[in-house]
């Protein structure tokens, strides 16, 4: 039963019990209305309490039901709330821990509300590209006041119950319980107290006005427009709350309903809902049970105090885990610690970090020049120079000194993890933790599973990733894992586009208009063109027949490595990030074209975007076939969290699904006709061809 019913004296208690967060799925909604009818039919029952079992009152409508007929099937949430309001006996919501979305809307339909302190209260629908669709935009302004309600609805952020209870004139909470533990007893007492009170108070009957009226909402609309580029929902939240101030409750409800249904079908909302589930699905590994025992990680060691080592160390310090950093020379250690200190001090200066927190984190950091000092660490992460010989020396040393059961992790981004594991006697303890620079900022973490990596090591690092607030995605072992293997094809297309007639600025502008944070050339200037140059030299030695544009090599031969040399594809003024097109570079590209005998052609933005994005999709389909990634949504998470793919498009695979895989394959067959492109690459991966032919999707 997902809505349990019991009578305690003269009080009926309905307990939502739909783990993990009492999502208001169809069965739960049905359970509530059945229990309400039962309580109203039982003369011995004088009042009714609704509460939630486990770690939530309710996390809202069941997101997993969206898009299925169940979501709208009667009794839908509106009907359940109406049944509560129309109950002849008083209905109280006893709220604790989490009360969000439809859960809060359900509570707002009750006649009374008692909350435990510390409850996270929110209407987070806007984060799913929606707005509250069961009266939240009409009742919360009446219960809390227009401005605090609008702030909550537009931000979607949780507010603690005790803070809301302090708002002057608020009618959200009639009572605050002393604690979560005493909530049940206090709710029963409160129910007995109001059992005979009539008329039953209804939030819908409360007044709803704003002194500045339309002027306020115009101000709110302008504010929201600035922060919600590409997302329609926040602006619609303002419209719905404004409708609440126009008087008639029912009219406001129909405005909310119309907007809600329209938003439900927008690509932006589908993308955000996909991301919500994809982020959580990424932490699940098909063949590693959720209850796999984990190794305790109470102390971490990091090898290398460079940019990556320092950034990696900060993640663990931020999570309260002590870190010991090892370097070869004292001055390298001093430099690394100074950089960590500088990063924290910058956060303290911006008010993002309290001084005492900063000092506490620094107190968890220690350094050493000797491997012997690492023997008590539960996990070690090496972030040394990206060269297999160096990795071999480090892992042989780690194998010698680390205690049995310690996890040996490599931050390698391009080398073979299985080879690295073979340098030790304990390949089952070796795993890849590919952080993205800057490691203390980027949320993405590729967890590279070696052929012999133990399942409990995988379970441990996935759970640790959550603790250090990373979105972890499991990758198998291949050149470039998931993200960098895909970006190679994306970069190749960028080069071909230059050879065929584009300038770097034209390519960047087209894909930035599509929504990428940075186009391929600005991004390469930021990362350093010499990085790609070194990888190309190594990679194309192994694949001499691989076709690619030589323009990037010509650029590097001129020493134009990007922002770090003040010049790359673009010029840069010291201290500024603006990418200034450079005529010399354009001329270099033109001359290169001439040398190839290519007559430049005008290439549309649409073709630029399709070739860049579909090159990601096709390579991703191969990655899925090769078992390097276990699900398409994992690949979306990699590109959203690590490569600036626009959130409102939900990732390359979600975007391809929305375009239609048949259309993607059609476009690819056109690109394959282009003699200057790589016809072989544009043969659709068998998985992609099959899904397209069957009219199916990746996700």
Query: Which range touches ligand T1G (CB under 6 A), out of 44-52, 59-67, 426-434, 477-485?
Result: 59-67
Using rule CB under 6 A, residue 124 touches ligand T1G = yes
250 as an active site residue: the answer is no
Q: For ligand T1G, which is the closer residue by CB, 32 or 332?
A: 32
Q: 316-343: string of b/e by CB count within 10 Å (b at 16+)? A: bbbbebebbbbbeeeebbeebbebbeeb
Using rule CB under 6 A, residue 63 touches ligand T1G = yes
- Using CA atoms, how far residue 370 sits from 57, 594, 657, in Å, is 52, 57, 52
Look at strands 112-115 and 159-160 and give their pairing.
unpaired
Q: For ligand T1G, which is the closer residue by CB, 77 or 409?
A: 77
Nearest one of 356, 361, 371, 314 to 339, comparing CA atoms: 314
Q: For ligand T1G, which is the closer residue by CB, 125 or 677?
A: 125
Of 262-301, binders to ligand T1G (CB under 6 A) are 280
Minimum CB separation from ligand T1G for residue 64, in Å? 5
Look at strands 365-368 and 175-176 and give their pairing.
unpaired
Minimum CB separation from ligand T1G for residue 276, in Å? 7
Residues 6+ apart with CB under 8 A from 223: none
Using rule CB under 6 A, residue 132 touches ligand T1G = yes
Distance between CA atoms of 218 and 235, rounded to whole angstroms?
11
The residue from 4, 65, 125, 606 that is catalytic is: 125
Using rule CB under 6 A, residue 248 touches ligand T1G = no
CA angle, 677 as apex, 597 and 508 as ends, to 5°? Answer: 95
Minimum CB separation from ligand T1G for residue 203, in Å? 15
CA atoms within 13 A on the CB side of 180: 14
Distance between CA atoms of 461 and 376, rounded to whole angstroms?
18
CA atoms within 13 A on the CB side of 37: 7
Minimum CB separation from ligand T1G for residue 635, in Å? 18
Contact of 174 with 113, CB cutoff 8 Å: yes
- Closest chain position to ligand T1G (CB): 101
632 in helix, strand or coil?
Answer: helix
Minimum CB separation from ligand T1G for residue 648, in Å? 17
Q: For ligand T1G, which is the closer residue by CB, 103 or 491?
A: 103
Going residue by residue from 94 to 123, which x/- string records binding to ligand T1G, judged by CB under 6 A? ----x-xxx--x------------------
Using rule CB under 6 A, residue 16 touches ligand T1G = no
DSSP character string of 345-380: HHHHHTTSS-HHHHHHHHHTEEEES-GGGGTT-SEE
Q: For ligand T1G, which is the closer residue by CB, 61 or 617?
A: 61
CA angle, 556 as apex, 553 and 557 as ends, to 5°? Answer: 85
Tokens of 445: 């973490």
Q: For ligand T1G, which is the closer residue by CB, 128 or 498?
A: 128
CA atoms within 13 A on the CB side of 426: 19
* Number of shown-chain residues binding ligand T1G (CB under 6 A): 24
Peptide bond into 31 cis (omega under 30): no
Using rule CB under 6 A, residue 20 touches ligand T1G = yes
Using rule CB under 6 A, residue 544 touches ligand T1G = no
Query: Which range touches ligand T1G (CB under 6 A), out of 60-68, 183-191, 484-492, 580-588?
Result: 60-68
CA angle, 292 as apex, 289 and 294 as ends, to 5°? Answer: 145
| Residue of 13, 84, 92, 134 that binds ligand T1G (CB under 6 A) | 134
157 as an active site residue: the answer is no
| Residue of 31, 52, 59, 109 that binds ligand T1G (CB under 6 A) | 59
Using rule CB under 6 A, residue 499 touches ligand T1G = no
Q: Which residues are catalytic?
A: 105, 125
Which positions touch ligand T1G (CB under 6 A)? 20-21, 23, 59-64, 77, 98, 100-102, 105, 124-125, 128, 130, 132-134, 136, 280
């Amino acid at each position: 039963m997902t809505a349990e019913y019991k009578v305690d004296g003269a009080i009926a208690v309905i307990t939502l019990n739909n783990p993990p967060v009492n999502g208001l799925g169809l069965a739960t909604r049905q359970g509530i209305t059945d229990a309400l009818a039962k309580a109203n039919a039982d003369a011995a029952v004088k009042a009714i309490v609704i509460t939630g079992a486990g770690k939530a009152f309710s996390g809202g409508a069941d997101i997993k039901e969206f898009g299925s007929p169940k979501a709208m099937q009667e009794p839908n949430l509106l009907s359940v709330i109406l049944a509560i309001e129309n109950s002849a006996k008083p209905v109280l919501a006893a709220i604790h821990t989490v009360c969000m979305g439809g859960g809060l809307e359900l509570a707002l339909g009750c006649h009374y509300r008692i909350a435990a302190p510390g409850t996270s209260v929110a209407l987070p629908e806007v984060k799913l590209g929606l707005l509250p669709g069961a009266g939240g935009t009409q009742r919360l302004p009446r219960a809390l006041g227009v401005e605090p309600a609008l702030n909550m609805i537009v931000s979607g952020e949780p507010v603690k119950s005790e803070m809301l209870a302090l708002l002057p004139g608020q009618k959200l909470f009639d009572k605050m319980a002393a604690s979560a533990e005493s909530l049940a007893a206090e709710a029963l007492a409160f129910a007995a107290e109001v059992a005979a009170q009539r008329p039953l108070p209804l939030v819908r009957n409360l007044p709803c006005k704003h002194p500045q009226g339309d002027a306020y909402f115009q101000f709110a609309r302008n504010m929201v427009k600035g922060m919600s580029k590409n997302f329609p929902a926040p602006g619609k939240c303002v419209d719905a709350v404004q409708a609440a101030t126009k008087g008639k409750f029912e009219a406001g409800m129909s405005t909310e309903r119309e907007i809600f249904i329209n938003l439900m079908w927008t690509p932006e909302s589908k993308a955000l809902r996909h991301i919500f589930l994809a982020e959580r699905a990424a932490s699940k590994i098909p063949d590693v049970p959720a209850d796999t025992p984990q190794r305790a990680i109470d102390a971490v060691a990091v090898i290398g105090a460079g940019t990556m080592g320092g950034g990696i160390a900060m993640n663990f310090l931020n999570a309260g885990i002590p870190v010991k950093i090892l370097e070869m020379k004292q001055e390298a250690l001093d430099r690394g610690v100074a950089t960590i200190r500088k990063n924290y001090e910058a956060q303290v200066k911006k008010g993002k970090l309290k001084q005492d927190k900063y000092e506490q984190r620094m107190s968890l950091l220690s350094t050493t020049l000797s491997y012997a000092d690492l023997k008590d660490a539960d996990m070690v992460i090496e972030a040394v120079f990206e060269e297999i010989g160096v990795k071999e020396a480090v892992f042989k040393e780690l194998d010698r000194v680390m205690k049995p059961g310690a996890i040996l992790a490599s931050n390698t981004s391009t080398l073979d993890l299985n080879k690295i594991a073979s340098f030790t006697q304990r390949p089952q303890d070796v795993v890849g933790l590919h952080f993205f620079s800057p490691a203390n900022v980027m949320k993405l973490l590729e967890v590279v599973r070696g052929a012999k990596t133990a399942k409990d090591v995988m379970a441990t690092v996935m759970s640790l990733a959550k603790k250090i607030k990373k979105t972890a995605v499991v990758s198998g072992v291949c050149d470039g894992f998931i993200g960098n293997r895909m970006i190679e094809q994306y970069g190749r297309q960028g080069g071909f586009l230059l050879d065929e007639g584009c300038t770097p600025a034209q390519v960047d502008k087209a894909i930035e208009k599509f929504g990428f944070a940075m186009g391929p050339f600005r991004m390469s200037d930021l990362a350093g063109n010499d990085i790609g140059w070194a990888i190309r030299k190594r990679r194309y030695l192994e694949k001499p027949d691989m076709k690619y544009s030589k323009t990037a090599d010509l650029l590097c031969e001129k020493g134009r490595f990007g922002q770090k040399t003040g010049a790359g594809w673009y010029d840069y003024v010291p201290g500024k990030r603006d990418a200034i097109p450079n005529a010399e570079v354009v001329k270099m590209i033109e001359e290169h074209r001439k040398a190839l005998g290519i007559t430049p052609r005008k290439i549309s933005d649409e073709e630029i975007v399709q070739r860049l994005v579909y090159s990601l999709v096709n390579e991703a389909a191969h990655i899925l076939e090769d078992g390097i990634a276990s699900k398409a949504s994992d690949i979306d998470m990699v590109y959203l969290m690590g490569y600036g793919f626009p959130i409102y498009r939900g990732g390359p695979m979600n975007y391809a699904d929305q375009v239609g895989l048949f259309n993607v394959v059609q476009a690819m067959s056109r690109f394959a006709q282009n003699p200057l492109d790589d016809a072989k690459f544009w043969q659709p991966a068998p998985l992609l061809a099959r899904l397209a032919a069957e009219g199916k999707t990746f996700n």
